[in-house]
Amino acid sequence: MNRLFFTNHAAVENAHFTKNSDDFVVSEIPLYEFSGSGEHLALHVRKKDLTTWQMLQALSDMSGAKMRDFGYAGLKDKDGMTTQYISIHKSFEKAFENFSHPNIKILSSTYHNNKIKTGHLKGNRFFIRLKKISSVDALKLAEACKKIAREGYPNYFGYQRFGKTGDNFEEGRALLEGKRKERNPKLRDFLISAYQSELFNRWLSKRIEISKYFESFNDKELQSALDWDKETIKKVKQQPQFCKLLEGDVCHHYPHGKAFLCEDVDAEVARFVNHDITLTGFLVGGRAMRAEGLAGEIDREFFAEADAFLDKLDGSRRFAWCFATDFEYRYKEEDAWFEMNFSLQKGSYATVVLEEILHRELS
């Protein structure tokens, strides 16, 4: 998918970014503290320029443990430096005492009662360094960082989800249509999730486009562009935040809680501005909550093609708008570097936040 609509206005064309171990660092934030006792060994591991799978394979080869015996909370990027927590039964502890690998380092270890499971993380902390930054572009970057720290960002799926050629979603659709077979269940699930992600991104891009209309157009132009009644346009335009909520949206308590229909828009806008709730989008499937009213009309435009597959998928809701926390930035003029640190919810992509800041795609 080519993302056409960004929230940031000022593009920074000359920023140089490379996902290497000096300029892109990811630190996993665990969901809870480990107990310090139990039958599972919890390892804090740092890897460089390896996928999580490649790291686990190296640990498996050295220890004799099977790949399936390792527990992990999430898969990390290959490029850059990443730290994460993995678990293995403590009977393998001795095998890791003298472990040595040029791209993997065991930072610390403890014990826990349970195997670490997928999704058992709070989020990730990121460090990003941009190079060849002029003083003028540094000011643009600082303003973009302030805006995201204050208002949040659209939670697109990153280009990593769609493969090198960007067509994973087409393979996923072919699987659902019965035009393609795939014996590997993990690959099958991944390709189908890419299709769900593509539809989500298309819908989210439309919602960002609509929100930008309200920044730029007067009431008459909005009526012409959207074909909404005057009263609806008036009420939506009064919302102070960039990302507009609509009657019938499926919202969610943030960062934890339950999904619910947006019925009293004015009340929910106040909670949205305070980061207490957020907007969600549909990951197609028959068991997921659906938008209604005006929001439902927009949904049908983007998700109708998947109606035939709803009985094959459970589906879910995904945060469409998220809020970065602990956002820090600095400009090192002598090196022409602009550096950022921020934390994101699990499932969010740092590259998506960076794309918003730069106002351009990185893929």
Nearest to 328 by CA among 83, 139, 152, 142: 142
Alpha carbon distance 285, 292 (integer Å): 16
Nearest to 125 by CA among 309, 284, 324, 322: 324
| 178 phi and psi angles, rounded to 5 deg | 80, 15
User: Rounded to the nearest 5 degrees, what angle is found at the Cα of 55, between the Cα atoms of 54 and 61?
Assistant: 90
Residue of 49, 61, 69, 77 marked catalytic: 77
CA atoms within a 13 Å half-sphere pointing along the CA-CB vector of 30: 17
Alpha carbon distance 100, 83 (integer Å): 16
Helices 293-303 + 185-216 axis angle, to 10: 130
Give the DSSP H or E segment for 327: strand 325-332
Active-site residue, 335 included = no
Give the DSSP H or E segment for 213: helix 185-216
CA atoms within a 13 Å half-sphere pointing along the CA-CB vector of 151: 17
Alpha carbon distance 187, 54 (integer Å): 16
Give the residue numbers marked as catalytic.
77
